[in-house]
Amino acid sequence: MDAAYVETAEGVFLASPLTRGPWHPDHQHAGPPSALICRAVERAAAADGFGHLGRLTVNLLRPAPIGACRVEAAHDYVGRTAGHYSGRLIAQGKEIARFTALAQREEAVPIPEGTPGHPPPQAPKPWRQSPAATMAVISTHAFGYAELVENRVAEGTMFRGPSAVWFRMAHPLVAGETPSPYQRVAVAADSGNGISASLGFDRFMFVNCDLTINLFRRPVGEWICLEARSLFGGNGCGLAESALFDEEGVIGQATQSLAVRAR
């Protein structure tokens, strides 16, 4: 299929091999289902008049199987400037993920010239000046996610410690739809622990248990850059943190709590 998912009924999706992750041939990479969740939140928030997704937190309870899944979203609280949402992703009769999100109402508030930190920093290197790379080399099985996205390395070397990598979706998230800027961020943001890996994939697993994305403005363009690093405590736990950029500069950050295990 030329998309990560096909919507077979409202809120019900069939995952394609383009969602397959690097850890197990039957499991999805967590980026595409996080983007599906993002899509559901965007739609719920738009109905309440909120256009900006300020935060998305996805608690990953189980691996998402490649097959049918369902997304449910609920309105928790809707105020004048912000709305709070929650929901879950379900597959094979089990909860795969639970999520919460914050959506905000946008209003033009120009930032005074000379304000410290403005304009925001740029990515280490524009995507046009960054050499192409592939994520497929880290997996021993067909790694569909590596075909779902294309990559360019702006700084460092992928899978060898801190690095900055551009992501662009080469296929739609849902068949027949153009991915939103927020969905593009969600697909990419779950890869911070992968591109900044300093432990060998052949000897260790460092799977994330959650994903939190914070954005202070709407992303623009098709390319999203992660400037990522992974930290390990020696206690089987870790943290991956990524600064997020679009072509105009920094847009926010993403964090992932890691479970680190020897293979």
- Going from the C-alpha of 249 to that of each of 89, 218, 230, 252, the distances in angstroms are 32, 11, 22, 10
Rg (the chain; Cα; Å): 18
pLDDT digits (tens, 9 = 90+) for 54-73: 999 999 999 999 999 999 99
Which are the contacts of 75, defined by CB distance < 8 A and separation ≥ 6?
Answer: 44, 48, 83, 84, 85
> Could you tell me the domains of the chain?
5-106+121-262 (2.40.160.210)
What is the pLDDT at residue 140? 72
- pLDDT above 70 covers what percent of the chain? 100
Picking from 102, 118, 2, the residue whose alpha carbon sits closest to that of residue 52 is 102
pLDDT digits (tens, 9 = 90+) for 215-262: 999 999 999 999 999 999 999 999 999 999 999 999 999 999 999 999
| Spatial separation of the C-alpha atoms in residues 2 and 151, rounded to whole Å | 18
Collapsing DSSP to helix, strand or coil, 125 comes out as coil
